[in-house]
Structure 1
């Protein structure tokens, strides 16, 4: 039978990195990785826009907001780690067990909007970076970002450690680039120290502060981290879980502090290079690049552009993984990773295209900051369930969060939600005052939507308190093991074998005969995929079709001579659809298929027929891999 991982978060890499039997620094290294994939979301191009705007407008005064964001991120990411390790569920899966289906659908939509906002930031960052470094027009840069779908597909097929190594190398490039820039701009250390003292926020600084929090503490990172920690194979004893939590704590602390260094470096760069020289309105990444060129020559801006491209490319990979986790967890829906990536990217590219066409290059900077505010508005819907789940003593046992930690987490949650509510009210008032038409739009469309979202947030908060432990008692992703009885042998009467006239055919037929013997009836299926077959179906009889029919009949005749009951069926057009139709029409009760052995790019080109057929039929499917000789 085909192996299925539908119960696991990121099933294709679940438990693929072993940590057992290792000690000392080797043990630590085996756990290092997941937090670095998460940390790239904390230094993506969206952060650059908010950090540049904060540094140029307010100097070093908002560094304390960055530090606060980093502390919130450390706490919340460690809660996500705890959930993933102890319960073996990611945040979306835990939500599915707790909230009704409609609420999960709403949470999925909101989380998807957050991922699109994040992806939008990466698209804009990559396009701007390519424009600054190579002079490529922004519209072309945005188009090129579609190609990273292929990069993600390649990396996922290489395994988790290869993906982590790629991301860490990009983080290293970003870190070195900014370290070099710090030596070039030579910031005032005393003024930087003063920036860690909290100051009062006005309307503009509040907007930027919320943007910084949204850009730093990203909701999709909580989903991602709770899943990525499950790629480590650990000892499921209490001591083994405790060890895994401890090592992942260090992984998270190191990675997020590196991200804080990068964010602080961007803000300090803007404060030193622009605010100190009277350039107080540098919110655009392009403007920052031009001013760096004018002030410091060519090296600093080149490093700036290289770091921007590396940050954008690394973040787009993790955004795709988060999208897969959210869709599978909330909706129990799994689609091909490349298709998932393509859909998300297209949804993010559309607003970027329209912004460039309507508002020109200047509009991208404002869109970038807006995307980070959207991320912040989504935070409550991820943070509140996370605190509930990790505080649940019945589900978490001795690993439930301690009282002081729970109180601190709720304080941060109230802070995030409170700031967001204030921002929403402030923005709605501003829009309503703009014009009579805008006021009508606000009163009859935007305000009801805002109230509805607010009501959903209240429900998400109250449900686990009012209906405690009413969810299904699912302690592991697979659910509870069923009792084993009536284990008599299964006899198949109608067995189908897919034929592609390759070296796989003999193995496929042999495995089919092993299942049914001479009692069963065998249907050999081949699909003609020529252009004529796709357009004309069974009416076509070109040379290839005739040759395939003759070859298939030879197999049938050979089986009949050996005493087996067999017939041939020819399909036309798309392989998966045709095979599924024949199986369903002929009441087949068992299918044997040969695996083509394609990987990565070839899967994208030739398709994954086996998986497609598996989802179109309701009978067992045996996949026979080609024998290596």
Structure 2
């Protein structure tokens, strides 16, 4: 069964696994509770934008046989500008992913706590949660396989099970299908919903996924013959991730319109309304989302360092392995000790908000470069779509920074 699934999915699964994490699920839950299905249009547009950018990134990897970090170093000639850009990327993604990892692992713990509440033990007067250590160990063993295909197979299974869990939850809640269609095509912007719209887009279009995708497509396919398969793979996998996000919004929209602070509260509210199965499906889905994002965030940080610092190593090299190990270890430590990762994640979001427009612009330059891409460079229509996405990313960046500092 896994082999059959693997024939339909590939590197796009890594992208879907990365952006469908605890942060995305939480944002979609809040969007559903507060605004019903009115903001589904923003989610659909962000998924389309993600597919476009990720397809460009995959094309860079397959045509140039360079990851995005290496291609960036190649196309940016000015030494000072190149140095500033590389430092910004490393800080935003590597250190940012360390902060996100704490949230990913904490999210997996929260999903498990829906099913089994007690996950803490007392040690010398301290309450220590042992589940992050177990989750971290599982992720370590998976990543330590050093096999793209084996890691891909694990992610495919988790993403499919996670998708089925959230879709089943949405169906159980007896959704308003006409309301869903209206929410996708109406482009309504209810009062005080702009921040939520920006959050939806910001948790879907993820800068580190562009680096990750350009690297792993080279491990799946050899050169140009993989272009069509990579495009289909990205569209299917990211589209499936979008369905998961939609399912979460739809499920949450069926709840009473009150403040929701966590997925645990959502699960507890679902149970008396739609039965215990809804609670367990939601809990497992959130647990799987935390696991998949934990795996991809650590791996992406290693690929970013490899490309941006020009390491001539493969994924079995100690430099590469210790990068993802350190990211994973920091996430386990913050989550186990109960350190609130919110401030760290806020810093990571600020750095990513600054980074995203720059990365999108440079990606456009790369895929439009005749010398690098040859006949596979962007068409005028692809560039037009890319420019529109860049402008929106810039708007997102400015609004995110204003929201933090003002």
Cα pair distance change 1:338/1:89, threshold 3 Å: closer
**Alignment counterpart, residue 359 of structure 2, candidates 362, 382, 392:** 382
Query: What is the alpha-carbon distance in structure 1 between the residues aligned to residue 341 and residue 93 of structure 2?
Result: 22
2:13 paired with 1:36? yes
Aligned counterpart, 1:345: 328
Deviation at 1:194, TM superposition (A): 1.5
2:106 paired with 1:116? no
Q: Report the aligned-residue RMSD.
A: 2.6
2:189 paired with 1:200? yes
Which residues of structure 2 form unaligned runs of 5+? 77-81, 121-128
Question: More helix by proportion, 1 or 2?
Answer: 2
Tell me if structure 2 keeps the 8 A contact 1:34–1:228: yes
Deviation at 1:190, TM superposition (A): 1.3
2:67 paired with 1:77? no
Deviation at 1:263, TM superposition (A): 0.5
2:91 paired with 1:103? no
Tell me if structure 1 keeps the 8 A contact 2:294–2:328: no
Deviation at 1:39, TM superposition (A): 1.2
Deviation at 1:386, TM superposition (A): 0.9
Aligned counterpart, 1:293: 271
Between 1 and 2, higher relative CO (CA 8 Å, sep ≥ 6) is seen in 2
Query: What is the alpha-carbon distance in structure 2 between the residues aligned to residue 385 and residue 348 of structure 1?
Result: 30
Aligned counterpart, 1:332: 310
Which deviations, in whole Å up to 9, do the C-alpha atoms of 1:220-262 show, x marking residues without a partner? 111111111111343x5xxxx2x42122111111111111110
Aligned counterpart, 1:213: 201
Tell me if structure 2 keeps the 8 A contact 1:40–1:314: yes
Which deviations, in whole Å up to 9, do the C-alpha atoms of 1:52-93 show, x marking residues without a partner? 111111111111111011010010000001100111111111
> Normalising by the residue count of structure 1, what TM-score does the alignment of the two structures yield?
0.57
**Alignment counterpart, residue 302 of structure 1, candidates 260, 275, 280:** 280
Query: What is the alpha-carbon distance in structure 1 between the residues aligned to residue 331 and residue 308 of structure 2?
Result: 21
Aligned counterpart, 2:247: 265
Query: What is the alpha-carbon distance in structure 2 between the residues aligned to residue 307 and residue 121 of structure 1?
Result: 16
Q: Which piece of structure 1 moves more, 257-266 or 367-376? A: 367-376
Which deviations, in whole Å up to 9, do the C-alpha atoms of 1:552-609 show, x marking residues without a partner? xxxxxxxxxxxxxxxxxxxxxxxxxxxxxxxxxxxxxxxxxxxxxxxxxxxxxxxxxx
Cα pair distance change 1:116/1:377, threshold 3 Å: farther
Aligned counterpart, 1:150: 140
Report the 3-state secondary structure (helix = DSSP H, G, I; strand = E; otherwise coil) of the residue aligned with 2:145. helix
Aligned counterpart, 2:124: none
2:382 paired with 1:405? yes
Q: Which piece of structure 1 moves more, 118-127 or 345-354? A: 345-354
Which deviations, in whole Å up to 9, do the C-alpha atoms of 1:297-331 show, x marking residues without a partner? 31111111111111211222222221111111111
Query: What is the alpha-carbon distance in structure 2 between the residues aligned to residue 365 and residue 190 of structure 1?
Result: 37
2:391 paired with 1:425? no
Cα pair distance change 1:296/1:368, threshold 3 Å: farther
Query: What is the alpha-carbon distance in structure 1 between the residues aligned to residue 279 and residue 300 of structure 2?
Result: 32
Deviation at 1:34, TM superposition (A): 0.9
Aligned counterpart, 1:572: none
When Rg is computed on C-alpha atoms for both structures, the one with the higher figure is 1
Aligned counterpart, 1:60: 37
Aligned counterpart, 2:295: 317
Aligned counterpart, 2:170: 182
Tell me if structure 2 keeps the 8 A contact 1:31–1:232: no
Tell me if structure 2 keeps the 8 A contact 1:210–1:373: no
Query: What is the alpha-carbon distance in structure 2 between the residues aligned to residue 193 and residue 83 of structure 1?
Result: 35
Deviation at 1:365, TM superposition (A): 8.0
Cα pair distance change 1:233/1:304, threshold 3 Å: closer
Deviation at 1:349, TM superposition (A): 4.7
**Alignment counterpart, residue 245 of structure 1, candidates 227, 232, 236:** 227
Aligned counterpart, 2:153: 165
Query: What is the alpha-carbon distance in structure 2 between the residues aligned to residue 179 and residue 188 of structure 1?
Result: 14
Query: What is the alpha-carbon distance in structure 2 between the residues aligned to residue 271 and residue 51 of structure 1?
Result: 10
Tell me if structure 2 keeps the 8 A contact 1:283–1:365: no
Cα pair distance change 1:351/1:163, threshold 3 Å: closer
Which residues of structure 1 form unaligned runs of 5+? 1-25, 358-362, 430-629
What pairs with 1:131-146 in structure 2 (closer than 5 Å)? 131-137=113-119, 139-146=129-136
Cα pair distance change 1:201/1:109, threshold 3 Å: farther
2:91 paired with 1:86? no
Query: What is the alpha-carbon distance in structure 2 between the residues aligned to residue 150 and residue 127 of structure 1?
Result: 16
Which deviations, in whole Å up to 9, do the C-alpha atoms of 1:528-547 show, x marking residues without a partner? xxxxxxxxxxxxxxxxxxxx
Aligned counterpart, 1:593: none
Tell me if structure 2 keeps the 8 A contact 1:52–1:283: no
Cα pair distance change 1:316/1:416, threshold 3 Å: same
